[in-house]
């Protein structure tokens, strides 16, 4: 599966803890060059959950909602072992993300 992410990088969302955390995770995934892989894996493994996202061009606000729906965590998003990147890749990123978000102590 290949999708095209919006070229607009401004990550706006609500200012509650999940909205802020979703923006942090979005920025983290983008900074670590894995936003595209993350979105593709979620859509591949949970297609019925994101039926409205049917085209191959996804806006930032839709990605933020997808992140919030998955509890602002890589851990809850999809089965790592069933991805082209594998379990080790996503596990390392998940640990790095948790440390990154913990700095902000939102939860």
Q: What is the pLDDT of residue 71?
A: 86
Tokens representing 89 are 């890749």
The whole-number average pLDDT for the span 47-75 is 76
Interatomic CA distance for residues 89 and 76, integer angstroms: 15
Kindly state the helix (H) or strand (E) to which residue 27 belongs, with its residue range. Answer: helix 17-31
Average pLDDT, the chain: 80
Q: Tokens 């599966």 identify what position?
A: 1
Coil vs helix vs strand at 32: coil
CA dihedral 19, 60, 65, 48 (to 10 degrees): -170
Pick from 20-29, 44-53, 65-74, 83-92: least confident: 44-53
Q: What's the predicted TM-score (pTM) here?
A: 0.78
């Amino acid at each position: 599966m290949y999708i095209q992410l919006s070229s607009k990088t401004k990550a706006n969302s609500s200012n509650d803890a999940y909205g802020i955390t979703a923006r942090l995770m979005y920025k983290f995934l983008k900074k670590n060059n894995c936003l595209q892989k993350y979105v593709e894996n979620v859509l591949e493994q949970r297609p019925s959950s994101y039926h409205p996202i049917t085209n191959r061009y996804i806006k930032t606000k839709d990605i933020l909602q997808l992140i919030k729906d998955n509890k602002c965590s890589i851990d809850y998003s999809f089965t790592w072992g069933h991805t082209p990147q594998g379990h080790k890749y996503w596990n390392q990123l998940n640990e790095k993300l948790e440390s990154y978000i913990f700095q902000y102590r939102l939860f």
